[in-house]
């Protein structure tokens, strides 16, 4: 990947956004505090002797709001985090002492875009559709690119087209398409570093408001140490015909956090 990236840089590159914009009122899971921004100081509130003025803002957000990446501290199973770390002990004091967001590595690596919606011949997968191993295999065959160790795998469902309609996007009544356990096991078998999708929870959310389990989060985060990215924007990348490319993902170093906002970028030849 390094040689390919250097060659691309030598020829000139451009970037394609893979993340959603952050704005007050954006879709947010009810399990997390939503994004809020307001101006704390406006131009004219204070003027310098030379007539200059400055404005600034206050931002309040959860670590799993908007386009973000999950730290390995985010999910436990049977009281244990990835590697058998005791979750209760690690979270004492109000921040994680192990597997926190500051330990998520910056990613500059190969990405593979698996366009499941495009492979199935639709713009958007049905609400609550479970993306299977066969779906990923077919999308990889169509892309001509299998995941390799260390890769980032992005899964397009088309659901990001609903991002500006919070009710539809969150799918509380109808469900949201996403990865199933057998698809997650297929990804894990390829020894990838991270994976992400254009939905609120990455994995399939069935219709209804009942209690929801997150078996794919358990499998990827707890059992295999694979980071998950959510709320990706993959429409532009799919429209550009991207299948494999360099990706840059730089999480914030939030000490002891369970996740971090990110601005992922596809780096492609100009």
Please give the structure tokens belonging to residue 252.
Answer: 């914030």
3-class DSSP assignment, residue 185: helix
Overall fold of domain 14-19+63-269:
Glucose Oxidase; domain 1 (3.50.30)
Which residues lie closer than 8 Å to 158 by C-beta, 6 or more apart?
Answer: 117, 122, 123, 124, 125, 198, 235
State the pLDDT confidence band at 269, using cuts at 50, 70 and 90: confident
Can you give the pLDDT at residue 72? 98
- In the chain, what are the domain boundaries? 14-19+63-269
Cα dihedral angle (168, 170, 175, 179), rounded to 10 degrees? 120
Reported in sequence order, the residue ranges of 148-243 that DSSP labels E, i.e. its strands, are 152-156, 178-179, 194-197, 227-230
Closest CA to 73 of 59, 83, 65: 83
Q: 31 or 41: whose pLDDT is higher?
A: 41
Q: CB of 61 within 8 A of CB of 28?
A: no
Closest CA to 177 of 221, 133, 125: 125
pLDDT digits (tens, 9 = 90+) for 188-198: 999 999 999 99
Can you give the pLDDT at residue 150? 97
pLDDT digits (tens, 9 = 90+) for 193-225: 999 999 999 999 998 755 578 999 999 999 999
Residue 225's Cβ-count burial label (10 Å; 0-12, 13-18, 19+) is middle
Residue indicated by tokens 């500059």: 108
Order the strands of the 244-249 sheet from edge to edge: 13-17, 265-269, 244-249, 107-115, 152-156, 194-197, 227-230, 68-70, 259-261
pLDDT digits (tens, 9 = 90+) for 88-137: 999 999 999 999 999 999 999 999 999 999 999 999 999 999 999 999 99
C-alpha–C-alpha distance, residues 111 and 264, integer Å: 11
Can you give the pLDDT at residue 31? 87
Considering the entire predicted model, what is its pTM? 0.93
């Amino acid at each position: 990947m390094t040689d390919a990236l250097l060659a691309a840089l030598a020829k000139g590159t451009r970037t394609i956004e893979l993340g959603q914009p952050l704005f007050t009122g954006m879709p947010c899971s009810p399990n997390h505090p939503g994004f809020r921004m307001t101006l704390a100081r406006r131009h004219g509130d204070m003027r310098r002797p030379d007539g200059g003025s400055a404005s600034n803002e206050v931002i309040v957000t959860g670590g799993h709001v908007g386009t973000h990446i999950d730290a390995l501290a985010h999910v436990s199973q049977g009281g244990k985090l990835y590697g058998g770390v005791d979750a209760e002990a690690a979270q004492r004091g109000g921040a994680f002492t192990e597997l926190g967001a500051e330990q998520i590595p910056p990613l500059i690596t190969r990405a593979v875009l698996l366009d499941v919606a495009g492979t199935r011949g639709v713009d958007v997968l049905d609400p609550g559709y479970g993306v299977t191993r066969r779906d990923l295999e077919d999308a990889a065959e169509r892309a001509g690119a299998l995941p390799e160790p260390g890769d980032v795998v992005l899964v397009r469902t088309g659901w990001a087209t609903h991002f500006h309609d919070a009710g539809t996007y969150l799918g509380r009544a109808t469900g949201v398409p996403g990865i199933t356990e057998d698809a997650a096991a297929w990804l894990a078998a390829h020894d990838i570093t991270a994976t992400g999708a254009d939905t609120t929870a990455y994995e399939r959310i069935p219709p209804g408001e009942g209690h929801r389990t997150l078996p794919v989060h358990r499998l990827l985060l707890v059992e295999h140490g694979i980071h998950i990215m959510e709320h990706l924007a993959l429409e532009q990348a799919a429209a550009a015909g991207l299948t494999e490319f360099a990706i840059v993902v730089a999480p914030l170093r939030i000490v002891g956090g369970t996740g971090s906002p990110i601005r992922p970028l596809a780096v492609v030849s100009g």
